[in-house]
Structure 1
Amino acid sequence: MKKEIFAKRTIEAAQAGIADAFAASNNTELISFAGGFPDAQLFPNDEMGESFRQAFTENSLNVLQYHDNRGYAKLRQILAKRLTADGTNTSADDIILTQGAQQAIDLVARMLINPGDGLVVEAPTYFGALGAFDAYDPTYYEIPMDADGMNMHALQKVLMAHSVKMIYTIPDFQNPTGAVMSLAKRQELIRLANQYDVVVLEDSPYRWLRFSGKQLPTLRSLDTEDRVISLGSFSKILAPGLRLGWATGGQKWIDAIATLKNGADLESPFITMVAVANYLSNNDLDAHLATLRKIYASKKDAMVAALQENLPNGFTVNNPQGGFFVWLQAPAGVDMGQIMKADITPNEGVAYIPSQNLYPSKTVCNAARLNFTGEDIPTIQKGIARLSKALQKYAPVVPAAALS
């Protein structure tokens, strides 16, 4: 076939790096720090199994029939109560349940973004969101990340100079850097969104996985003009195989998302929503989260300690207070994607997400995202030792005079 049959969005999706991350994480011969995989040993298998059994045997609803495209009302009520307790006043009507937060990202982009519309993203950002956004052909504006979140001075300069429809941000344990947006920056972001008439998409799948420090208010709780749509997910706190997330926002947003969901999949799987509601009604989610936080904190500490001890000169790593990832910074000129494909994965059996996939411009190559939740601590330590040894050959040479 001579002419290109695939749409541009299909070609761009293949270049997003999502499939590579899953392939690396599912390759049992690799030590993979690539995908954002939870620890499968922590899935509540017995409790979820009982919850699904109960959905079939004890629920008066026909769980295999079509239902409300906004999702099971009881689960939305339970979730609304938890979000309200977390500081964001929410009713069941403010929520739509989706097939993971990933679908919610896609539906919000479909709702708002026309080709060429301005879209602000953190730089770097979640590559799965870029994969969703690319299908709607936005004009990207990258805002650098500081240790305390998006650089607000750079954001204001972009908003002053360009027409922007939406800001996408991950304020809590940002993917990929692990950074937490400060309260002052959260307040400033809302002020700027109001001033420049911009919608904010707040993606918070890691919010309830804080290991240390003080929990900060959500952007939606600070919203004064119904500009914030907030997303969450059960993938990181229960299990990704459930494929269940949510979007919350004002009624106009939820109504529009529900309309688009009709054209996407009609509704999320009802049996899963009933089972998750049963789990939350009959089990202590807070105790489960406490277990996750304790174990994930120990894994993060092990990875950071191994990196700090073994990384060669010129390489640095941060130490986040929660979430799933640490951010590895390499010296200028080191292409972490190229050396992973040519050397580190084939020779050392280690994989990660190179930074090039985490910028719309794909221009920053000297960094990497490392996941610490998926592997056990001995495997983390072995993988970091291999990675650090391999990186020695890419470290800058320190002149002898500098060592004296």
Structure 2
Amino acid sequence: MTTYPSGKLSEEKVFKDPVHRYVHVRDKLIWDLIGTAEFQRLRRIRQLGTTYMTFHGAEHSRFNHSLGVYEIIRRIVDDVFQDREEWDNNERLVSLCAALLHDLGHGPFSHSFEKVFHLDHEDFTQAIILGDTEVNAVLRRMGNRFPKDVAEVIAKTYRNKLVVSLISSQIDADRMDYLQRDAYFTGVSYGHFDMERILRVMRPREDQVVIKHSGMHAVEDYIMSRYQMYWQIYFHPVTRSAEVILTKILHRAKHLHEKNYEFKQPPRHFYSIFEGKVTVEDYVKLDESIIMFYFQTWQEEEDAILSDLCRRFLNRNLFKYIEFNPNSQVKMKMWMELTQLFKKAGIDPDYYLVIDSSSDLPYDFYRPGEEEERLPIHLLMPSGELRELSRQSEIVEAISGKKRTDHKLYFPQDAIDQLSSKRKVKEQIRKLLFEEMR
């Protein structure tokens, strides 16, 4: 492998970090990657999308998180794995680069944006790494094959599965950073676990990272913290209300564009996305400041739905919600009745009556034949044998393979309350909705 010219910086650089105290950069390659336009763009994309509307401290960025994941991997490969027989130190730089760049392809408001336009941030991460970009130019200084190696780690197709498991598994650097970072910035205590202990008991094995049996309780703590964070933070119903409005704004703008509606502020940054022809060049121009600019100006649009949804999002006038199970025939009958009543009331149910579902599987072991292979966490026993975690831990066994799903029905209570000229319809809607709320 070609050596990067003057491989080490003349002096170590550090970033002060609220979670890891310091992020250390000694390699010129890493320092140059951080300075690229594509990586700096991550400063303008929040890590937690619309969560700042629920937890006002959640303003941290994908840039913060990416540096954090890099720092965890740096500690593993430089301190924990160094000189261990089953670790090949030639994989050090590819591991560090994949850690740093793993979220490079996230769009503004990440998962909501992807859902509306059927995009995949991992595809864009690989496209940026392999495309005509500053990131690619920096990586190629390590050799023409090197960008492909980094992209393959992120795609989980890299030849060394141990490297892949560091970045993407059920106990990886990505999760270990975001759980602690998101807990810190939201101000909750759920995401805390003893990461230092977990790092100390990690061991490299042929195709995955394993954990010494003596560290099992630290891993239990990590899994429970992940479970709590999903239900208390990531799936918070108020955050999801903001996401619902955000996705409906984007759907409405796309619909209007397709109908040749004349925008006062034409959505030029969205054209290639609306038309399903998005290029890497167009994609990296998108960040949350661009999106918010359009939302700000679209408040003045003639289209009542677009302007109302944008006002709601910017001013945090969110939808209310009730528990709602779409698998229940009674509930779906109620939803169909509400749909008709909303139409009578002049409230478009496509935009203002929305079922939203969230689900999570906190831990699972490998089940042959499943579409997504979930590599289980293995404990390294004193005898040298490996045992799957849930076989040893009663706590983990209790939640293994148990998918939990939450459904909500979102609606604009204020718009219903203002239906003064359609009193009968208003009362019918209120009766259906608010009987459910009691």
What is the TM-score of this pair, normalised by structure 2?
0.29
Higher normalized contact order (CA 8 Å, seq sep 6+, divided by chain length): 1
> Which has more radius of gyration?
2
Larger helix fraction of residues: 2
TM-score of the aligned structures, taking structure 1 as reference length: 0.31
